[in-house]
Structure 1
Amino acid sequence: MEPVNIGVLGASTFALEQTAPAIHAARGARLAALATSSAAKAEPFTAFAPDLVVHLDYDAMLADPAIEAVYVPLPNHLHVEWTLKALEAGKHVLTEKPIAMAAPEIDALIEARDRTGLFASEAYMIVHHPQWQRVRALLDEGAIGTLRHVDSVFSFDLRDPGNIRNRPETGGGSIPDIGVYTYGSARWAARSEPVALSSRIRRENGVDVWAQVTGTMAGASGEFSYCALTSTRLYPRQEVTFQGEDGMIRVTAPFNAGLAGEAQVHVTQGDTLRIERFPAVRQYVLEFESLVATLRAGADFPWTLEDARGTQAMIDLVRAGEV
């Protein structure tokens, strides 16, 4: 089987530290090219991928016939533009989350995907991790009875005003950056959608730095209460809890598995606690191996543009529901 030649559009720190090495390590994938406006930014990439082709122009990489798929880790406000350009250039494309700044923008991506017949999706890596696949399976089988409440927290402290997460013009803020996890994980794992939401949001320099969301969601087993907190001004913390009538599921290190601690699923049923551990799983590697399986074997990719649109619609509701 020929490897999937993947080009990275933009030499971001995140790509350097996380996703480019994951492409390099993924079975069936080949880190083939990098597009960057700075040759100096390419040097750390070529240190671990010496055969990497460096394009000093984004359009030049999209025109490279050797590149089959493009990974886009650009700042949030550029995601839609370059996803569309990649599709129009005949490339499959995987774009970092959030893939858009508002849900209707994703309609154009869906149209372009369907018209071109190419693959396009959002790089929502947690659904590739066996930790979250296990949580979804437990909820599906009714392991904790009827789901009644979900609470989710994701916070870290980032005060650098120059960071793109703190700049409104690049789509910064805790809601798009990490709310995509607290909201999207509940939607995916519990197969649910929001019914009504209200939010309290604190902003600095035009971006939200603290957002508390409460409300109601509904899934196959009915409605449940929902509470989420995201912040880029608090001590680091991440945890998700699903509470049912007969038990509880607690998810540790749910979003940065390995970096924020060991990925675990704590299942409480009555007086019994069972801890399932997922050490040394590289979820970004699994994400790109899933991409390979989709492109080479026609496997289902576990996160679609429609899934991304649903989470973005929830983000839009959070903003609209501010009190």
Structure 2
Amino acid sequence: MKKVVWGVLSTAKIGVKQVIPAMQISPWCDMRAIASRSLPAARAAAGALGMAQAYGSYEELIADPEIEAIYNPLPNHLHIPLTLQAARAGKHVLCEKPFSLTAAEAGQLREVAGRVHIMEAFMVRFHPQWQRVRELVRAGRIGTPRAVQVFFSYFNDDPGNIRNQADIGGGALYDIGCYAIVAGRFLFEADPARVVALVDRDPALGTDRTTSALADFGGGRQLGFTVSTQAQRYQRLNIVGTSGRIEVLIPFNAPQGEATTILVDSTGALDGSGVERETLPKCDQYTLQGEAFSRAVRGEISLPYGLDDAVMNMRIIDALLRSEHSGRWEAP
């Protein structure tokens, strides 16, 4: 097996601190090059990470004939333009979430989707705790699933932070609401027929600082979530069925290289006395994601999630933003 040769667009913190080190430990990934609009910044990052090549522009990295796959952790408004540029050059692209600012923008990639692999980087879907929860749901451990409930929040009101810049895709729904949507789609194994949103926007920043939503998946299945960029740091995922429930304690920012725990309750005891704790093995979800994408590039497996999946997530976000203004249910 020959490792897939990777290049990284930008020295974004998520790449330098989390994703690149995680992928470097995989036997499937050769993290070869990193690019920045500042060559000194690229060289500093490459040196710190032990990467062989640094580029002072994204275009130079994309033009490197040795690079097979690109990891794109650029700011949200640059996801599609640079992914499209890389794909046109024949590079496979793993692009950070949210995939785009609109579904229509994401649809531009249909031009190249048949020639290269393109996947939105929802690493959570590769974590054993998510895989185990879906396995339990499929096996009927909680009966018929009725509701997925998500709360996800952190506090950041810095106007200089890209997460708080409305014109380039800042705000709670884009940044973390996308995870809640993926949770519903992953666990119900379906897409919602309609959604409705309640949004509170920061009067100075213009971003949605708190967004709550309901999504109707049909057959009595409902996703409800609240996400906030200006609340106490917290995250939890619950899926409740007719005869049980499962709770994921750290569903999204699972500690890298550590074991995780899910709670399973089939008793309904309100004091929690019936909860069973199940520990999942140590892993790094970014490593697993990089391996899955690399294996798809090598033809070892089918691409787990493709362009259609990413576009659907954006269609749901589009519908929620329409609902903010219409005050009604909207169809994705």
TM-score (norm. length: structure 2): 0.91
Q: Given the superposition, is the C-alpha separation of residues 59 and 41 from structure 1 closer, same or farther in structure 2, using an over 3 Å criterion? A: same
Look up the match of 1:174: 172
Q: Given the superposition, is the C-alpha separation of residues 44 and 279 from structure 1 closer, same or farther in structure 2, using an over 3 Å criterion? A: farther
- Structure-2 separation of matches of 1:301 and 1:254: 23
In the TM superposition, residue 171 of structure 1 has moved relative to its aligned partner by 0.8
246-255 or 272-281, larger mean C-alpha shift: 272-281
- Structure-1 separation of matches of 2:279 and 2:287: 18
Asked if 1:234 corresponds to 2:236, the answer is: no
- Give yes or no for contact 2:117–2:306 (8 Å, CA) kept in 1: no
> Where do residues 147-296 of structure 1 align in structure 2 (5 Å cutoff)?
147-204=145-202, 205-218=205-218, 222-258=219-255, 263-270=260-267, 272-296=274-298
Q: In structure 2, the residue corresponding to 1:217 is in which secondary structure? A: strand
- Structure-1 separation of matches of 2:44 and 2:151: 33
Structure 2 residues without counterparts, runs of 5 or longer? 269-273, 328-332
Look up the match of 2:330: none
Q: Given the superposition, is the C-alpha separation of residues 27 and 182 from structure 1 closer, same or farther in structure 2, using an over 3 Å criterion? A: same
Structure 1 residues without counterparts, runs of 5 or longer? none
- Give yes or no for contact 1:29–1:289 (8 Å, CA) kept in 2: yes
Look up the match of 1:145: 143
Whichever residue aligns with residue 157 of structure 1, its letter is F
- Structure-1 separation of matches of 2:4 and 2:177: 31
- Structure-2 separation of matches of 1:25 and 1:72: 19
1:126-145 Cα offsets, whole Å, 9 max, x none, are 11111111111122222111
Whichever residue aligns with residue 62 of structure 2, its letter is L
**Identity among equivalent pairs (%):** 34
In the TM superposition, residue 213 of structure 1 has moved relative to its aligned partner by 0.9
- Structure-1 separation of matches of 2:222 and 2:118: 33
- Give yes or no for contact 2:34–2:51 (8 Å, CA) kept in 1: no
- Give yes or no for contact 2:33–2:46 (8 Å, CA) kept in 1: no
Q: Given the superposition, is the C-alpha separation of residues 133 and 301 from structure 1 closer, same or farther in structure 2, using an over 3 Å criterion? A: farther
Whichever residue aligns with residue 302 of structure 1, its letter is P
In the TM superposition, residue 317 of structure 1 has moved relative to its aligned partner by 1.6
Q: Given the superposition, is the C-alpha separation of residues 136 and 283 from structure 1 closer, same or farther in structure 2, using an over 3 Å criterion? A: same
Root-mean-square deviation (CA, aligned residues, Å) is 1.7
TM-score (norm. length: structure 1): 0.93
Match of 1:316 among 306, 315, 318: 318
Aligned pair count? 317
Whichever residue aligns with residue 224 of structure 1, its letter is R
Look up the match of 1:49: 49
- Structure-2 separation of matches of 1:273 and 1:300: 37
Q: In structure 2, the residue corresponding to 1:280 is in which secondary structure? A: strand
In the TM superposition, residue 262 of structure 1 has moved relative to its aligned partner by 5.7
- Structure-1 separation of matches of 2:214 and 2:88: 40
- Give yes or no for contact 1:253–1:262 (8 Å, CA) kept in 2: no
In the TM superposition, residue 51 of structure 1 has moved relative to its aligned partner by 4.2
- Structure-1 separation of matches of 2:51 and 2:170: 34
Q: Given the superposition, is the C-alpha separation of residues 51 and 316 from structure 1 closer, same or farther in structure 2, using an over 3 Å criterion? A: closer
Q: Given the superposition, is the C-alpha separation of residues 69 and 120 from structure 1 closer, same or farther in structure 2, using an over 3 Å criterion? A: same
